[in-house]
Structure 1
Amino acid sequence: MDIQAGLFLLGTDTEVGKTFQAALLARHLVSCGWKVGVYKPVASGVNAAEKSDAEWLWEASGRTVELARVCPQQFQAPLAPPVAAALEHREVDEELLVSAARWWRNRCDFLIVEGVGGALSPLSSTMTALDLALALQLPVAVVAANRLGAVNHVLLTLEAIANRGLRTLGIVLNDLPRTADTAGSSGENPAANHNQELLARFTPIPIVHSAVQLPLGLSNPRAAL
């Protein structure tokens, strides 16, 4: 392993709170006096009018390097990175996906890598988020939205990680703002109250329930940072 200390945050899907958790971890480690590296290997759906995931990570880590070091490859279309890149007549540089992470070696005490989408989401035409975690030989934390279906999604992700020979250090069940697809007619998310206990029956891996409850109407969970 050529990155001395770090963690790769793999999601069970897109929009499950990876950036939120990565930024919280970065901010905590910075407050403890650590020099923290943050890395988003590739991003799509980047809109100049909105703050990007990379910018949230960059700010949480103290802006110690140029923003381009946090996310060197960005594309505009809100599609899988290789598709978004093709629309711009570009390709995702697979060598850069790895080398830009290794650039942080000896430049930080701890590197936080935020994956893209789910564990098997394509970063390029041949590489998935899990492939990159394997290339970097970093331990993994799995982030899932705490809603109905989370147990299945987490267990499938854990199986994929184990099949690659990587170690999962923990699972984060992340509470997100209630939306039509996560809440019932009453506006509640009943599965959220049972997911942690049910999941613990199937895995010994530590589970953290991120009880960040945001007010209704607050559409961006990163606004709580």
Structure 2
Amino acid sequence: MTQIEQAEGKPRLGRKRDLTRDPEILASALDVLAETGYDGMTIDMVAARAKAGKATLYRRWSSKAALVLDAVACMKSNEIDLEDLPDTGTLRGDLIAMVRTPTIRDGERKLKVMAGIASMIARSPELAAAAHEALVEPRATVNRIFFRRAIERGEIPAGVDVDRLSIISPAMVAYRVLMLGKPVDREFLISTIDEIILPAAGVRSVDCR
């Protein structure tokens, strides 16, 4: 029994191997989770959203907790292709090249999912780990690549704390959405890059023209 299932007091049942509807059901679970939060979410809501029978869901997932854990974990499969990252020749150029409308929308959806599972994260280290891997680590990984490139070019000092720099943007975005209730737009992201991230990385002047 996993820790998240222990939190709900339900045993984990065996799963059948017909997984053909899993992606649709998991996507529906994420939509409901983002809209209602974990406590407000029900299996019935997910079944209705996915146009599936409730029995179909229970044959695959023994509890709401198990469904949520799989749904959050599956978000990692949609992460950015690390083999196809922009390489503009500058740290600022690389960071700004990632500020795209689809990326912004995806990031906001992920944050809504994170808000939805906040009530369970403290009770389930397993869910907390899955959330970190799916919602935070993909973008932090991209940022690490950009900072290491900048170090290799001599653009920023070799001694900068790459790991800490890499989570500034995800942390700022999360605070804006979850704590302030404000949307994330291109202007906010670029100002964060120019006014916070680049100075923290040791880039002394930025040509924003």
Q: TM-score range by the shorter chain?
A: under 0.3
Given the two structures, how large is their TM-score scaled by the length of structure 2? Answer: 0.28
Structure showing the higher strand proportion among its residues: 1
Larger Rg computed on CA atoms: 2
Structure showing the higher helix proportion among its residues: 2
